[in-house]
Amino acid sequence: MAWIALIIIVALVFGVVGAVVKGLLWLLVIGIVLFAAGAVTGAIKARSK
């Protein structure tokens, strides 16, 4: 579960940097993808318990 939290935190950092720094919009996209992947993985692991 710690890996999922780490992935979501990294996704939020990438998203903020991508949204704030002009020209780094691709980091925002990577952050969104990582956040979605972490959320889906967390939901699947939570349901399997």
Q: Give Rg (Cα) of the chain.
A: 12
What are the backbone dihedrals phi and psi of residue 16, each rounded to the nearest 5 degrees, phi first? -65, -45
pLDDT for the residue numbered 24: 87
Using one digit for the tens of pLDDT, what is the confidence trace for 4-44? 888 889 999 999 998 898 888 888 889 899 999 999 999 99
Domain boundaries, position 39: 2-48
pLDDT for the residue numbered 1: 72
Distance separating alpha carbons of residues 46 and 38, to the nearest angstrom = 12
> How many structural domains compose the chain?
1
Say what the pTM is: 0.77
Distance separating alpha carbons of residues 47 and 11, to the nearest angstrom = 22
